[in-house]
Amino acid sequence: MLSYSIRRILMLIPVLLGMSIVVFSIIRAIPGDPALTILGEKASAKAIADLREVLGLNNPWYIQYFDYLKQIITGDLGVSLHTGASIAKEIGPYLAATTELTIFSMCFAVFIGVNAGIISAWKQNSWFDYTAMLIALIGVSMPIFWLGLMEQWFFAQELKWLPSVGRDNPRDPVQAITHFYIVDTILAGRWDQFRDVVEHLILPGIALGTIPMAIIARITRSSMLEVMRADYVRTARAKGMAQFGVVYKHALKNAMIPVLTVIGLQTGLLLGGAVLTETIFGWPGVGRYIYTAIGNRDYPVIQSGILVIATIFVLINLLVDLLYAYIDPRIKYR
Amino acid sequence: MSQPVLQIENLQTHFFTDRGQVPAVDGVSITVHKGEVVGIVGESGCGKSVTSLSIMKLVPNPPGKIVGGAIRFKGEDLVLASEKRMREIRGNEIAMIFQEPMTSLNPVFTIGDQIGEAIRLHTKTSKKEARQKSIEMLKKVGIPRAEAIVDEYPHQLSGGMRQRVMIAMAMACNPELLIADEPTTALDVTIQAQILDLMRQLNQEADTAVLLITHDLGVVAQMCHRVVVMYAGNVIEEGDVRTILKNPKHPYTIGLLNSLPKLEESQERLYSIPGNVPIPGSLTAGCRFAPRCEQAMDRCRQEMPELIPVEENHRSRCWLSI
């Protein structure tokens, strides 16, 4: 396990380097002069020349790359052209907002998806199986923005059960400490606000979690069906184990590998910020942060935002790979 | 004689498939006494594995279902027993080992977890005690370094070792009946002999009755007190192992024995019974072996014989045995 983990972590280095090259190239791949693109057609020649100097565009590309690498290794993500603030500082709250929403959505997706998949496989061809798989099919094929709008119309507008936009009550905003509002409200001991924050999470959380939930349910079902036919499942039953234990202990642990892969990928995708959902629900997450930056032609923000998202994606996959080895002892020998 | 441990009476297990009802086991009666080793022999597809799974009520349902007969375990009819009662019996009073040691152990749990689980399901034991007991059982089945193996995973062991683990797991709760479904088929010849020795030793020490399912008459000769020969879902001959091997009556049993290589004769080619096992469900009236039987008469094609007593402890389902 240890040597596997170390090897797997060392493999991060080339991946992260490759990623930095791609991100670095983005801004240079834009046709024409980046300085001109950033400043616009009407900029003076002096301003363009100054910006080229600031951006280091007059150096050869490999020097530029090493400067860039040095910069990001020290945690400096550059400065936003639009606000003039440090991106590393600025992105934090957005990232926290997205992470909180992702965790909420994935908990919902994993809990319902995995259990629905297990029960569907256990009671194969039952009415539960058919209903669950029909819902899963609808779930994977439903456009999120439509689902989000329908939720807002039904639960916020018609029933008035839940708030439709934002993270907290604008008349009583949460005092941000960690920017994870659930944590912040607990730290402040404000249970009324805690409840409010959870209510704000529900609609976007469900909208965002529906597709992962549906995919997870389908993968879990097919993986479980395969495992349930295995000889060791018969052995477990021959020991006198109840079907529940057979399914949730012996079969599930073996069926988890493909499910875990999907959970990892989906979490990575959600952490990248779901622009549509965040826009519909007025959620101040990374998706909207980068989306706004694109509108403002704020290239450093776009570049660093992509770098951060890609790094998170890679780290989540690392975590998934380490979990593989934890779940299946055979993996480290492969 | 005392009450038999297991008494199967006219067991019928059928499979309900898209192409109709298939009688995989069709009226099988087998009796096993305490401490006895009974072999069930037959070709692939004769219903011997389904018979053994029926005893544990582990036939996959759907499509399989016990539709008739009785399985009396110490007098109690298991066909009528609840699932809850069956769970108490499985692994505790009746244990089973399977043909495929490579896949019968769960790859993601340690050996100790899996043996300990069998113990903890049926007795009030702490995790620590169960682990200790697991180590004891591993030693008992002749596994070296039992203290280390207990924390290893199945993929770290060889096939023979895994089958020993399966036996340790099966014997952990001192069952009264051990069902062994082709326990040595997947193993090397030398390992086979070791595993058989081990099973015989456990049978003698604990007085556990063994129902040994195999297609290998050599294994039967070595292990069993009595033997039941099955063909196409029926018992076609049964009796004392020496009697059957020396004086087989049913042409199928004779064919099986003839198809074994013999040391004292040099044969160019081994004998083989012509034809194939009939596909269950395609059976017609008359003796099921008749289409392949070299001695078949008109009567054989019209009427299925009962098990006819040939001598003491020997019965054969053949008109020629009268």
Q: Which DSSP string corresponds to B44-71? A: TTSSHHHHHHHHTT-S-TTTEEEEEEEE
Residues B155 and B224: their CA atoms lie apart, in Å, by 32
Residue B47 and residue B127 share a domain: no
Task: Report residue B267's pLDDT band, with 50, 70 and 90 as the boundaries.
Answer: low
Residue B285 and residue B204 share a domain: yes
Residue B193 and residue B271 share a domain: yes
DSSP state of B6: E
Question: Following CA atoms B180, B184, B190, B191 in sequence, which dihedral angle do they give, to the nearest 10 degrees?
Answer: -70
Q: Which of B86, B106, B155 sits opposite A232 (nearest CB)?
A: B106
**Distance between B84 CA and the closest CA of chain A, angstroms:** 8
Q: Which two tokens stand for residue A317?
A: 């996959």
CA angle B103, B105, B107 (to 5 degrees): 85
> Is B87 within the bounds of a domain?
yes
**pLDDT value at A55 more than 80:** no
Residue with tokens 């008749």: B290
Across A164-168, A257-261, A319-323, least confident range: A164-168
Residue B17 and residue B42 share a domain: yes
Cβ contacts from A onto B, under 8 A: 69
Phi and psi torsions of B285, nearest 5°: -65, 165
**pLDDT value at B115 more than 50:** yes
pLDDT of residue A334: 47
Q: Which two tokens stand for residue B177?
A: 């009946």
**Distance between B14 CA and the closest CA of chain A, angstroms:** 19
* Residues of chain B neighbouring A323 (CB-CB closer than 8 A): none
pLDDT tens per residue across span A124-178: 889 999 999 999 999 989 888 899 899 989 998 888 898 888 888 888 888 888 8
DSSP state of A1: -
DSSP state of A129: H
Are the beta carbons of B87 and A250 separated by less than 8 Å? no
Q: Which of B91, B108, B153 sits opposite A239 (nearest CB)?
A: B91
Contact residues, A window 217-256, toward B, CB-based 8 Å cutoff = 230-232, 234-242, 250, 253-254
Q: Which of B260, B259, B252 is nearest to B222 (CA)?
A: B260
> Is B192 within the bounds of a domain?
yes
Identify the domain boundary among B172, B194, B226.
B172
- Every domain of chain A with CATH number 1.10.3720.10 lies at 95-333
Are the beta carbons of A235 and B108 separated by less than 8 Å? no
> Is B98 within the bounds of a domain?
no
How many domains does chain B divide into?
2
| A95-333 belongs to CATH 3.40.50.1000 | no
Q: Which of B27, B44, B13, B12 is nearest to B305 (CA)?
A: B27
**pLDDT value at A72 more than 50:** yes
Q: What b/e string do you get for A88-98 counting C-beta neighbours within 10 Å, with b at 16 or more? A: bebbebbbbbb
Q: Which of B14, B26, B12, B15 is nearest to B234 (CA)?
A: B26
Q: Which two tokens stand for residue B300?
A: 């054989």
The rounded mean pLDDT for chain B is: 84
* Residues of chain A neighbouring B166 (CB-CB closer than 8 A): 235
- CA nearest to A327 within chain B: B108
Identify the domain boundary among B172, B193, B212.
B172
Residue B180 and residue B163 share a domain: no
**Distance between B6 CA and the closest CA of chain A, angstroms:** 17
Those residues whose C-beta lies under 8 Å from the C-beta of residue B30, and which sit 6 or more positions away, are B6, B7, B8, B38, B40, B51, B211, B228, B235, B238
User: What integer is the mean pLDDT of B156-165?
Assistant: 87
> Is B1 within the bounds of a domain?
no
Task: Report residue B282's pLDDT band, with 50, 70 and 90 as the boundaries.
Answer: low
User: What integer is the mean pLDDT of B26-35?
Assistant: 86
DSSP state of A296: T
User: What integer is the mean pLDDT of A215-222?
Assistant: 95
Residue B78 and residue B108 share a domain: no
* Residues of chain B neighbouring A239 (CB-CB closer than 8 A): 90-91, 117-118, 121, 169
Residue B208 and residue B83 share a domain: yes
ipTM > 0.90 for the complex: no
**Distance between B231 CA and the closest CA of chain A, angstroms:** 25
**Distance between B298 CA and the closest CA of chain A, angstroms:** 44
What percent of chain A stands above pLDDT 90? 32
Q: Which of A232, A239, A329 sits opposite B121 (nearest CB)?
A: A239
Residue B133 and residue B71 share a domain: no
**Distance between A250 CA and the closest CA of chain B, angstroms:** 7
Residue B196 and residue B83 share a domain: yes
Are the beta carbons of A238 and B88 separated by less than 8 Å? no
- How many other β-carbons are positioned within 10 Å of the β-carbon of residue A191? 10
Q: Which two tokens stand for residue A235?
A: 């052995």
Residue B297 and residue B213 share a domain: yes
Residue B283 and residue B190 share a domain: yes
Identify the domain boundary among B172, B194, B229.
B172
Those residues whose C-beta lies under 8 Å from the C-beta of residue A47, and which sit 6 or more positions away, are A39
Q: Which of B86, B105, B108 sits opposite A328 (nearest CB)?
A: B108
Are the beta carbons of A330 and B98 separated by less than 8 Å? no
Higher pLDDT, B263 or A135: A135
Q: Is B276 left (phi over 0), alpha (psi -120 to 50) or beta?
A: beta
Alpha-helical (H) ranges within B247-308 are 251-258, 298-302
Q: Which of B91, B105, B118 sits opposite A232 (nearest CB)?
A: B105
Residues B51 and A217: their CA atoms lie apart, in Å, by 36
Longest CA pairwise span in chain B (Å): 67
Residue B236 and residue B157 share a domain: no
CATH of the domain at B85: 3.40.50.300
> Is B287 within the bounds of a domain?
yes
Are the beta carbons of B98 and A242 separated by less than 8 Å? no
Residues A260 and B128: their CA atoms lie apart, in Å, by 31
Domain span holding position B116: 103-172
Task: Report residue A78's pLDDT band, with 50, 70 and 90 as the boundaries.
Answer: confident
Best residue of A229, A232, A244 to probe chain B, by most B CBs closer than 10 Å: A232
